[in-house]
Structure 1
């Protein structure tokens, strides 16, 4: 199983390359969703980790550049001088600095990453809506259960995510996803979740689960497979529709659809 959302650069490397990309904003295609594009509470955890990592990386880069420039300007050979700058073999303070500082940086990165990963992957078994996600070559089967009612939606390969199987979810609700695959490795990805997870054959849905809490942002959001899985991988598209709780109950009561 994979907590791939926390490896955020992978969001930029999805193998999907079909026409469905045109349906997303430029920022969404690049993996940088604006605040209004995120539809789960957990997405804010990922975005904060992403922003913090960028700030730390830029700060580290600035320090390195300053040190390089300092060495270049203050330890260069002087004009009209035959003598070289002092060649120092050891400098204990600097060696301590470049040993301890990276250790501190790695420790800080590890702490925040582990903290956020645990929060993202926590399953409390109290979700009011449960969705069984079955990834097959090359589409999706969604089985939604809530309050004793069950609805199943089966899709087929499409060229636009709006034509794919639609997963209807209520706003302001905790949803548990259970992932299964009968054939090859797929990856369940809704960009607006800022999270994706591998769907691996042989791993029971009880062991490959995650939860999200939807926000009050009704709309239709693109979804896709983010793991190269075969000839129609780029057409393995679906969409998630966030609706009011009343509309969700009506949709659930309508029963299964193909």
Structure 2
């Protein structure tokens, strides 16, 4: 029998596990670096707009600029704050031989003034730019090229093309998961690079007109008319929806937006006229007035508004 001296096998038993652990850590770090590189590569082209959706309207571009500017300011403050925290942690760390606590101060007037004035200044700047952009987004003083009356109803949309004196009416889009659902949605046509004024009304409850790609939405209130002007800057098909909880089928109150050339827009107006969809649908009518038989089911005080 051959016995290995105790002092000879000790290095062999201890070195291998440490080397294996180092290799595993190296593989994990390499894997994380690879995943991070792929994630950053996938995000290229979106950093400039703050990872927001691509804006397809003048209002969307303004909202994107406000978003990016806000993030730059917030990150700058964050970097300064983190830097000061790190400096304090390193500069005033406890060292060997320090048996007593550092001097404890109850207040520091310059520092307190600093962290009071700077936040107030930041809030004022944010308020100024937000108020400025909100005023621009809700400005309706410019003369529109196209006027479209949008009527919200549970749970669909009507579109009156005022200038062409034609309309499109929609019905509730039922999301069954089957193909062809998008074809059931009402379609709103808009000419590209033309200023469109939306005249917004509701027939029943509060709705909200929202096209996410426009990055702008506005509520539709019963008995009140709201207006919104937008210039679509890119052709294509985009999703529209209601952004205000309006009942059981709120999630299915959908429509499609097609931003097309002026020629295609004129062709669509002609097509609607040929279908006999001329004139304008009422915007102030209630459901009881539009659906036969509903009025008899509602008590007279509710219909007249009396007590």
- For normalisation by structure 2, the TM-score amounts to 0.67
Q: What residue number does 1:156 align with?
A: 172
- The number of residues matched between the two structures is 222
Matched, 1:122 2:139: yes
Residue of 178, 197, 206 corresponding to 2:199: 178
Paired residues for 1:61-80 under 5 Å: 61-80=78-97
Structure 1 residue 168 corresponds to structure 2 residue 186 = no
Alpha-carbon distance, 1:183 to partner: 1.7
2:257 aligned with 1:200: no
Higher-Rg structure is 2
Q: CA deviation at 1:114?
A: 0.9
Say what the alpha-carbon RMSD is for the aligned residues: 2.2
Alignment partner of 1:33 is 2:50? no
- In the TM superposition, 1:48-67 aligns within 5 A as 48-67=65-84
2:263 is equivalent to residue 246 of structure 1: yes
**What is the distance in 2 between the residues matched to 1:202 and 1:151?**
21
Match of 2:231 in 1: 213
Q: Which residues of structure 2 form unaligned runs of 5+?
A: 1-45, 176-180, 279-307
- C-alpha separation in 1, matches of 2:71 and 2:184: 36
**1:112 partnered with 2:133:** no
* Per-residue deviation, 1:158: 3.3
Paired residue secondary structure (2:230): strand
> When you count helix as a share of all residues, which structure comes out higher?
2
Q: TM-score by structure 1 length? A: 0.79
Q: Residues 130-176 of structure 1, C-alpha deviation per residue, up to 9 Å, x if partnerless?
A: 11111111111111122x53323323223244531000111110000
Contact kept, 8 Å, 2:160 with 2:168, in 1: the verdict is: yes
Name the structure 2 match of 1:46: 63
* Structure number having the greater strand percentage: 1
Match of 1:106, SS state, is helix
List alignment gaps of at least 5 residues for structure 1: 1-26
Offset from partner CA, 1:21-73 (integer Å, 9 cap, x none): xxxxxx9xxx8213xxx221121001100111111121222222222223333
Q: Which has the higher contact order (CA 8 A, sep 6+)?
A: 1
- TM-superposed CA distance for 1:125, in Å, is 4.9
